[in-house]
Amino acid sequence: MGLDRELFEGEVAEEFLCGICHQVLLNPVTAGCFHMFCQACVIRKMKSRVTKPVCPVCSAALSLYMTDTPIEFKLKLLNLSTQCSHNCGDAFVLAELPDHMDVCPNAPVQCHFTAQGCPRKVKRCDLRKHLHECDFREVECEACGFRTLYRELFTHQSRVRCLEKKLKQQIIRERKASSREIIRHREKLVKEHAKFDQQQRKRILSHAKSQASRKSERQTTAGSEFGDSEFDFATTQDSVFLTEDVINRHNQQRHHSEEAKRMEVSRQVRARNAVVR
């Protein structure tokens, strides 16, 4: 079969057309009657006919003996302008066709993994993409590093169970890491609590001290023996610290001051009695 005459510029002259396929001559040979045909067309015709083959143009007998086409004719043929048959939009003279096929982005090329079994032919511009996703490319198992064809990776992983083992190990590692994290967090909380308690105690202590000194100040300035310490406490700014602990301390303090008052009263009574005696 010759070259598609539709791809050639303008109307192709009759002399360049094959007498058998009626397309532009490809590798032309000349019969004894001087009519020209594509080499492949003649061979096909000779093989298919049981009876003696004849020239489809002049009906002269065809023999296997064909003469080569004159070089001048071949040069004229190779100078015909044509477009690329792969729709890349490129145009050139026929002589440049082989070179163009080596670079045409739409020309079909064989996958590089033919030896591994890939039967695919893809457009040259799609080859790189295909090589990255070809089932016959060599890959490394992500679980154990074993090298195999991509199409056999799943079989390998389900047979050796390497991926399963790796995932299990990963889960165990993650669990250990997260329980370590929980322990660290708990320890941090315990430390923070202890620090907070210590600060709380310090504030309560200093509050109690300031209360005590204020009370003794009042007692000395007013000369009163009966300071109302019960209400002093609730009116201080630190009333926010009225925790159970503080209340207990407060009550203790009150108890102590009442005890002191009682003792003072009995001292005075004893002193009066002494005077009376």
CA separation for the pair 273, 128 (Å, rounded): 119
Q: Where are the alpha helices (DSSP H) in the chain?
A: 39-48, 71-78, 97-103, 127-133, 150-160, 162-222, 229-235, 244-276
CA separation for the pair 118, 105 (Å, rounded): 21
The number of residues in the chain equals: 277
Q: Does residue 55 interact with Zn ion by CB under 5 A? A: yes
Nearest residue to 216 via CA among 251, 246, 260, 263: 260
Is residue 69 within 8 A of residue 31, CB to CB? The reply is: no
Nearer to Zn ion, 86 or 203 (CB): 86
Q: Does residue 57 interact with Zn ion by CB under 5 A? A: yes
Query: What is the DSSP code (8-state) at residue 24?
Result: B
Least distance to Zn ion from the beta carbon of 62, Å? 8
Least distance to Zn ion from the beta carbon of 185, Å? 37
Chain positions 158 to 177 lying near Zn ion, rule: CB under 5 A, are 162
CA separation for the pair 46, 34 (Å, rounded): 17
Choose which of 134, 149, 233, 257 interacts with Zn ion (CB under 5 A): 134
How far is CA 232 from its chain centroid? 68
Residue 239, phi then psi, degrees to nearest 5: -60, -15
Choose which of 2, 36, 62, 80 interacts with Zn ion (CB under 5 A): 2
Q: Does residue 104 interact with Zn ion by CB under 5 A? A: yes
Choose which of 66, 111, 127, 246 interacts with Zn ion (CB under 5 A): 111
Site size toward Zn ion, by CB under 5 A: 27
Nearer to Zn ion, 7 or 162 (CB): 162
Residue whose token pair is 């032919």: 121
Least distance to Zn ion from the beta carbon of 158, Å? 10
Chain positions 250 to 269 lying near Zn ion, rule: CB under 5 A, are none
Least distance to Zn ion from the beta carbon of 120, Å? 5
End-to-end CA distance of the chain: 155
Q: Does residue 141 interact with Zn ion by CB under 5 A? A: yes
Q: What x-and-dash track marks residues 11-30 binding Zn ion by CB under 5 A?
A: -------x-xx---------
Choose which of 12, 118, 127, 149 interacts with Zn ion (CB under 5 A): 118
Instruction: Spell out the residues 6+ positions from residue 153 whose beta carbon is closer than 8 angstroms to its own.
Output: 139, 141
Q: Does residue 208 interact with Zn ion by CB under 5 A? A: no
Nearer to Zn ion, 29 or 41 (CB): 41
Chain positions 222 to 241 lying near Zn ion, rule: CB under 5 A, are none
CA separation for the pair 41, 26 (Å, rounded): 9
Q: Exposed, middle or buried by CB within 10 Å (0-12, 13-18, 19+), for 71?
A: exposed
CA separation for the pair 192, 195 (Å, rounded): 5
**Would you state the structure tokens that stand for residue 105, as one six-digit string?**
């982005």
Q: Does residue 122 interact with Zn ion by CB under 5 A? A: no
Nearer to Zn ion, 125 or 247 (CB): 125
Q: Does residue 84 interact with Zn ion by CB under 5 A? A: yes
Q: Does residue 86 interact with Zn ion by CB under 5 A? A: yes
Q: Which residues bind Zn ion (CB under 5 A)?
A: 2, 18, 20-21, 33, 35, 38, 41, 55, 57-58, 60, 84, 86, 88, 90, 104, 111, 113, 118, 120, 134, 141, 143-144, 146, 162
